[in-house]
Amino acid sequence: MSCLHFAFELEFSPVNYPRIILAGLAAWVASIALGYLINDIWLFRLYQANAWAFRRPSDIATLVWMGLGAQLLACLAFALAYAKGFEGSGSTIGEGIRYGLIVAIIVDGFAVVWNYVTEPIATRLGVLELIARVGEFGVYGAVVGSIYRRREIPAPRVESDIVDLEAGFRHVDLQEPN
């Protein structure tokens, strides 16, 4: 993509990049809060019962920055993909939830189920992780849907305010060529 094409896209595209960034950041904050509620409160006892299959807390603490950075990038990509597929009909929150549920099914199918397959964790924990991701991504979609709006592109300016096309054509025909 050339710089000229990118500049044209920024100026004339209905995609609202500042809103994408805002929605992505909001989804990231929501993911941190919801992740805490799900993993450190709701599933905490199950994680403790399966602790031997996971890293020790001290090892995790040194890697948290990597997880948060990747999660921020993922939330921005999530918001960008939402904006590119934005239909704009009906409830934007409802559209966001639908989008989030579709992404959750993709994430569950490509990643979360493989945690259960490759890690010796309890079946209950594996199933609850799948369910938790569906709920989480539904919330992330609602957050993004509530924030994202298309950019309003101003209509081109014209020399006259002719609304009647037939009168407009007569007006043009009556003007003498230069």
Q: Return the beta strands (E) in 42-119 as ranges.
A: none
Q: Where are the domains of the chain?
A: 17-149
How far apart (Å, rounded) are the C-alpha atoms in residues 20 and 64?
Answer: 25
- Check residue 87 and give its pLDDT: 85
Check pLDDT > 70 for residue 7: no
Characterize 89-117 residue by residue with b for buried, 16 or more Cβ atoms within 10 angstroms of its Cβ, and e for exposed. eeebeebbbbbbeebbeebbeeebbeebe
* Number of Cβ atoms within 10 Å of the Cβ of 141: 26
Check pLDDT > 80 for residue 27: yes
From the number of C-beta atoms within 10 Å of its C-beta (0-12, 13-18, 19+), residue 24 rates as: buried
- pLDDT tens-place string over residues 44-76: 999 999 999 999 999 999 999 999 999 999 999
Q: What is the pTM of this model?
A: 0.76
How far apart (Å, rounded) are the C-alpha atoms in residues 61 and 44?
Answer: 17
Residue indicated by tokens 């079946």: 123
31: part of which helix (H) or strand (E)? Answer: helix 17-35
